[in-house]
Amino acid sequence: MKDTKIINPSDNSKVFELKKKHKQKQNELMAGNKKLLAIIGHDLKNQMSTIISFLSLLKEEVFDFDKSKIKQYITISLQAADNTFFMLDNLLEWANSKNISKSYQPEYFVFNEILVSEIKNIKLFASQKHVDINSTVSKADKIYADKNMVKSILRNLMNNAIKYSFEHGYIDLMSKKENGFLEVTIKDYGVGIDENLVETLSSSKNSISSLGTNGEAGTGFGLMLCKEFIGLHMGKMWITTNMNQGSEVKFTLPLSPL
């Protein structure tokens, strides 16, 4: 005689609830991703429209424009191209970050070495607004982190600081040790961020941003990416801001115990 397995009705109920919650979470993620891609797609379309419009004007009227007008149109087109590249780069990094087992590769290294490299990479963008970058970050402190993610964090946050800075302004970069973490501050003295947007900008639920001081576009996607990467390192990111006085973005990364 075969054993008869008694099925507890509550077991089916638990399975049903788990499947229901999983499906709900899946739908939320899909809806969030669709919204995010729609926002990014819209901004990319706007940037490409700017490039096409100004290059078309140059093609048709180049012999009628003086040198200053030609330089102005080329500068606008270059800025739009830079923004487009930056958005696409963030999108690729975000897509890669979904596979954490492959993308998260922490190691020990001196934080300032990566910072100096990223400052050099962003110099062109800063020079377009005549913004100086000053650093008092420790030259010796080592952290345990993923180098590519740290590069992305710095690139995004310094790009934002420049974007919200006034012409001929400057940015201060600082660091200090705090409870086993390196606390990094990126401070600008520009237009600031609307306080009602600070929580939204730091949240992964939305992707909204305000224009820079020269009308630079943004989706807030970079801040979302930074928060996600910093969270993988068990760190935190927070923002303080004052309208027309500037903003401070702070984040923490684990120090090397060595």
Count helices and strands in the chain by DSSP H and E runs: 7, 7
Looking at residue 110, its pLDDT comes to 97
Report yes or no: 244 and 192 within 8 Å, Cβ to Cβ.
yes
pLDDT tens digits, one per residue of 219-233: 466 787 788 889 889
Looking at residue 119, its pLDDT comes to 92
pLDDT block averages, 10 residues each, the chain of length 258: 54 60 57 58 68 81 80 79 72 62 79 94 83 95 92 89 91 95 95 70 51 50 81 91 87 88
Looking at residue 215, its pLDDT comes to 46
pLDDT tens digits, one per residue of 124-136: 778 888 999 999 9
Cα 245 to Cα 18: distance, rounded to the nearest angstrom: 49
Q: Which residue has the tokens 């501050």?
A: 185
Looking at residue 78, its pLDDT comes to 78
Beta strands in the chain (DSSP E): 106-110, 132-135, 142-146, 170-178, 181-188, 237-242, 246-254
Report yes or no: 116 and 230 within 8 Å, Cβ to Cβ.
no
